[in-house]
Structure 1
Amino acid sequence: MLKGSLSHYSPLSQLMMSLLVVVGSFMLCMFAGSILAYLIFDVNIFTDTTSLDINGDAVNVSVLKFYQSVYSTGMFIIPPFIIAWLLNNRALNYLFLDRKFSTYQFLLASITIVIALPAINLLASINSHLQLPEFLSGVEQWMRHSEDQAAIITKKFLAMETPFDLFVNLILIAVIPALGEELLFRGVIQRIFSSMTKNVHWGIIITAFLFAALHMQFFGLLPRMAMGILFGYLLVWTKSLWVPILAHLINNGMAVCMSYFINKGKIPEDIEQFGGNHAGIWASGLISLSILALLLFRLYRLRERQSE
């Protein structure tokens, strides 16, 4: 019987097995997605590549969003449950999905994400000014090109006219990534690296780096890594994956909602850059970090009390 049969494997073997599961699930889901795209949208991606060309005039954003959901499901949501099933007799327990959590923890995590925004924007500003050595100029040009492509995709994805468009993007950009990325990175990979290094802090840091690197945006590496570290400690201190999932959801959901209301002229455009693009960048960032430290210390102390 396969359930829990790989629990005795070494952390490195578990990591390799996890990668195989992720790749296999991704390929199967993308194949199924190609068939569904043909049936639903009448688009054959093997013969009609222009429909997926983000720079082309014939790009079909609906198909791109569909493939984004298929990609996220196949790579992030399905694999963690398969991996957990193979590594543990209680898959939900392995993924920290059956752990009790308090409303107070949820509230603290929610406030933490909002308070962290100026600090994250400060890191993003610092990151945007980083330059690679001259001998890596070609790599830097490739990175900047990747950033430009990502910006184009984001802009087209976040073009929302109706409340239904907002709802679709909240599911696609907030709910699915928050659930999937936390399941895979914090639920599986962080546990494996913590076991491999025999140090929970290294497990969090390594996983946060991989989490940031996966987005293939060098000039957003620092803020994403910081967010990954924050999500990692939220899991360690609360023992429930639902807490970092909620925090991740709020972070992504705020970005989507702000974009929608900015496009509607309901809120000023520069609100997205709060703490990241004005004269008080360092002041707002440091104030944010100070309050964030107090909130995180409160969460840490709450964990200590629960363990007593």
Structure 2
Amino acid sequence: MAHFATKRYNYWGQLGILAVFCGVGLIFGGFISLIPLIGKIHLKDLSGGSSAAIMDKILVPENATALRWMQFISTLFLFFLPPFFYALLCHRKPWLHLGFTHKVDVKQAGVVILVMFASLPIVGALQELTELIPWSKATLQQFKEAEDAYNKQVAVIARMDNFLDYLVSVVMIAFLPAVFEETMFRGGLQNLLSRWFKKPILAIIVTSIIFSAIHGSYLGFLSRFALGFVLGWVYYRTGNIWLNIIGHFFNNAFAITMLFISTKPGAKTDPSKIDDHFPLWFGVVGIALVYWLFKYFEKISKNDIDRPGEEVLIPGYIDTNNPFLANSENIGDTHQS
């Protein structure tokens, strides 16, 4: 269950406000994220060359710490601050609206982790399926070049020469992105679209498409869409953003851990060595497991599931100018999500 906007903004207005905050965050985050590179690269290195050549100068092992800070700053400004300020402006109680006020049930969290683990064969099978699509040679080459560019970034940012580097990577690459991205895509965008469309499943699909597209991975599009759908379902059924963060964190941390285990001390990190492909029938088994786990999740979460996707008033708040209240049957409803 969600709450009506406590300011006079319709759904288009709320989407516009969220989009504006994202645009501002993209611009400011882009500039501020360059601060960690001060003293490590000269302005002349950033001009007069191709974008690939510039990235090659930046993506060196010596810049690993700076690049981690760059990622933190850019994702903070793009994925966390925009939905927070949007919720603060439109909904008066941002933490309540985004889903941060819920408590975490250990059993629910455990099932979410199992769901994410069971999703790995689905993700791998979709990766295999994507590469089986008869792309043209030029298109497939373009896709693979994009993957190689992404792996170069990960190779530097996730450089782990020792256990301390591993812990830093878990925090900077697994935990913080999980918090920021879930706040944006589930707490912000899916939350808004669910209330707007009155069809939460459609909202999950649209949000998952955007979630996958924003990562810029063509060959991994279907895989990230599947993960986005799983995370979207968890949020749809409980409204508890912490469960999403736990699931997202587990997925990221598992990849970082496999990368750390597969890399010899002092050797160059190579994300491409982690084979995330699975036979298609593994994906079918994974779907069956995820379905069964979600049925069990529904059973243990029945006390949290309360008209998901619908809107009610924030307890004790009355705003006669609110455009949603004229046609609402929920006036005076004091349920909390």
TM-score range relative to shorter protein? 0.7 to 0.9
**Larger relative contact order (CA 8 Å, sep ≥ 6):** 2
Q: How many aligned residue pairs are there? A: 292
Select between 295-304 and 222-231 the one with higher mean Cα deviation. 295-304
Q: What is the Cα deviation at residue 141 of structure 1?
A: 4.6
What is the aligned partner in structure 2 of residue 194 from structure 1? Answer: 194
Q: What is the Cα deviation at residue 63 of structure 1?
A: 2.5
Closer, same or farther in 2 for the Cα pair 1:273/1:37, shift >3 Å? closer
What is the aligned partner in structure 2 of residue 76 from structure 1? Answer: 79
Q: Note if contact 2:59-2:152 (Cα within 8 Å) is conserved in structure 1.
A: no
SS at match of 1:304: coil
Aligned with residue 43 of structure 1, among 40, 43, 47: 40
What is the aligned partner in structure 2 of residue 220 from structure 1? Answer: 220
Q: What is the Cα deviation at residue 53 of structure 1?
A: 3.4
Closer, same or farther in 2 for the Cα pair 1:45/1:69, shift >3 Å? farther
Please say if 1:178 is aligned against 2:178.
yes
Consecutive unaligned residues of structure 2, counting only runs of 5 or more, are 266-270, 307-337
Report matched runs for 1:219-238 at 5 Å. 219-238=219-238
Q: Note if contact 1:105-1:238 (Cα within 8 Å) is conserved in structure 2.
A: no
Q: For the residues of structure 2 that align with 1:99 and 1:119, how far apart are their CA atoms?
A: 29
Q: Note if contact 1:54-1:152 (Cα within 8 Å) is conserved in structure 2.
A: no
Q: For the residues of structure 1 that align with 2:32 and 2:212, how far apart are their CA atoms?
A: 28
What is the aligned partner in structure 1 of residue 90 from structure 2? Answer: 87
Q: For the residues of structure 1 that align with 2:273 and 2:53, how far apart are their CA atoms?
A: 31
Give the alignment's TM-score, normalised by structure 2: 0.78
What is the aligned partner in structure 2 of residue 287 from structure 1? Answer: 285
Aligned with residue 273 of structure 1, among 272, 275, 282: 275
Q: What is the Cα deviation at residue 67 of structure 1?
A: 1.2
Q: Note if contact 2:36-2:67 (Cα within 8 Å) is conserved in structure 1.
A: no
What is the aligned partner in structure 1 of residue 335 from structure 2? Answer: none
Deviation track 1:181-214 (CA, whole Å, cap 9, x = no partner) reads 0000000100122223221111111000000000
Give the alignment's TM-score, normalised by structure 1: 0.85
Q: For the residues of structure 2 that align with 1:47 and 1:229, how far apart are their CA atoms?
A: 44
Q: For the residues of structure 2 that align with 1:250 and 1:52, how far apart are their CA atoms?
A: 34
Select between 57-66 and 185-194 the one with higher mean Cα deviation. 57-66
Q: Note if contact 1:26-1:71 (Cα within 8 Å) is conserved in structure 2.
A: yes
Closer, same or farther in 2 for the Cα pair 1:206/1:57, shift >3 Å? closer
Closer, same or farther in 2 for the Cα pair 1:138/1:307, shift >3 Å? closer
Q: Note if contact 2:64-2:159 (Cα within 8 Å) is conserved in structure 1.
A: no
Q: For the residues of structure 1 that align with 2:13 and 2:31, how far apart are their CA atoms?
A: 27
Paired amino acid for 1:184: M
Closer, same or farther in 2 for the Cα pair 1:192/1:129, shift >3 Å? same
Consecutive unaligned residues of structure 1, counting only runs of 5 or more, are none
